[in-house]
Amino acid sequence: MGFPEANHDYMGAVTLKNVSKIYNNIPVVDDLSFEIKSGEMFGLLGPNGAGKSTTIRMTIALTRATDGEIIVAGYNVRQRPDLVRRSIGVVLQQTSVDADLTVWENLEFHGRMHHIPVRDRQQRIDRGLEYVELGDRRKDLVKTLSGGMKRRLQIARALLHDPQILFLDEPTVGLDPQNRRRLWEIIRDLNRQGMTVLLTSHYMEEVEFLCDRIGIMDGGKLIELGTLAELKNKYGEGLAIEQQGDRLESKFFPTLETANTYLESLPNKIGITIRESNLEDIFVKLTGRDLDE
Ligand code: ADP
């Protein structure tokens, strides 16, 4: 993209350096640093209150970081929020589509806001609605759409001005499994076409299914970062789960085989299950709690 003043020293699509946000003297994001590569699908995973939304809101220039530096698409968010906004598409839970407008009007309005010329605009709206399979609902009021359709419309809107990077804050929260799957396919397809994606989620399967790399946040800090394979390699691919009173105790092993060898070695094998570890096991080990609040 040829906007002026982009700092192309930054190879990553998104860079956060020592970023903090303080609300009421409490750091809700605390000295956060990470980089998202161009074309990457990056997932921020964490329980409610971990600081994921605040991180996204600072990165998309909706709220100012108290400290640190954020670069998006080559632009410093503090200095050029306008150019950052032009380079990104955003799907937030709060800024939902306007229920009293039609599907088409919602996109038309967004297209005008972004000064997309009229002919181009119509083509893009058509293409976008086709892409998210809402072409036959274009004249319908948004309030008549299902939750899944509204979310797809939000995605079409976020893509209308041809962004380089897409930000999705809890994109499938509240959707049934079928609609969630459908959205995953769309997000995955966009990424395969080259779109860089930052998404937040507290759904383990979502992050496992979609993301190239996973950052785990807790208490405003990034407590782990890596691919799923790297994380499994680090914490162990095999797991022994043992009933201890009314609790389940998990013990990691480097491989499934070593976990099985451990089981074999026990005189009493009752109540012990062996299986492959997953992201949720790693999350629970790291934070001491699971995500189903
Ligand atoms: P997450 O998205 O991981 O659930 P958030 O970023 O929404 O986490 O919130 C992190 C913490 O910051 C929470 O404790 C929340 O109450 C607090 N917080 C978020 N926004 C504000 C705000 N505008 N004013 C004060 N506190 C806030």
Residue 203, classed as helix, strand or coil, is coil
Residue of the CA atom closest to atom 12 of ligand 1: 28
Residue of the CA atom closest to atom 5 of ligand 1: 51
* Residues 23, 30, 24: CA angle, nearest 5 degrees: 15
From the CA of 63, give the closest atom in ligand 1: 23
Entry pTM: 0.90
pLDDT of residue 3: 42
Q: Where are the domains of the chain?
A: 14-227, 230-287
Mean pLDDT by 10 residues, the chain (293 residues): 45 91 96 96 93 96 96 96 95 80 95 93 96 96 93 95 95 91 95 96 92 96 96 96 86 96 91 94 84 47
Between the CA of 215 and the centroid of ligand 1 the distance, in Å, is 18
Between the CA of 225 and the centroid of ligand 1 the distance, in Å, is 21
Between the CA of 51 and the centroid of ligand 1 the distance, in Å, is 6
pLDDT of residue 289: 66
Between the CA of 265 and the centroid of ligand 1 the distance, in Å, is 47
Q: Which of 16, 21, 22, 23 to mutate to test the pocket of ligand 1 (most atoms within 8 A of CB)?
A: 23
pLDDT of residue 10: 47
Q: Which of 16, 22, 24, 28 to mutate to test the pocket of ligand 1 (most atoms within 8 A of CB)?
A: 28
pLDDT of residue 4: 45
Q: Using alpha carbons, select from 180, 184, 282, 172 the residue that is nearest to residue 227.
A: 282
Between the CA of 49 and the centroid of ligand 1 the distance, in Å, is 6
The domain made up of 14-227 is a member of CATH 3.40.1350.10: no
Residue of the CA atom closest to atom 25 of ligand 1: 23
Report the distance separating Cα 60 and Cα 210, nearest Å.
Answer: 21
Asked whether 45 and 216 are in contact (CB, 8 A), the reply is yes
Please give all residues whose beta carbon lies within 6 A of any atom in ligand 1, as ranges: 23, 28, 46, 48-54
pLDDT of residue 8: 46
pLDDT of residue 102: 96
pLDDT of residue 111: 95
pLDDT of residue 287: 85
Between the CA of 139 and the centroid of ligand 1 the distance, in Å, is 37
From the CA of 57, give the closest atom in ligand 1: 6
From the CA of 170, give the closest atom in ligand 1: 2
pLDDT of residue 74: 95
Give the helix/strand (H/E) hosting 188: helix 177-192
Between the CA of 235 and the centroid of ligand 1 the distance, in Å, is 29
Torsion over CA of 248, 251, 255 and 261, rounded to 10 degrees?
Answer: -90
Give the helix/strand (H/E) hosting 230: helix 228-235
Q: Where are the beta strands (DSSP E) in 205-276?
A: 213-218, 221-226, 238-244, 247-253, 272-276
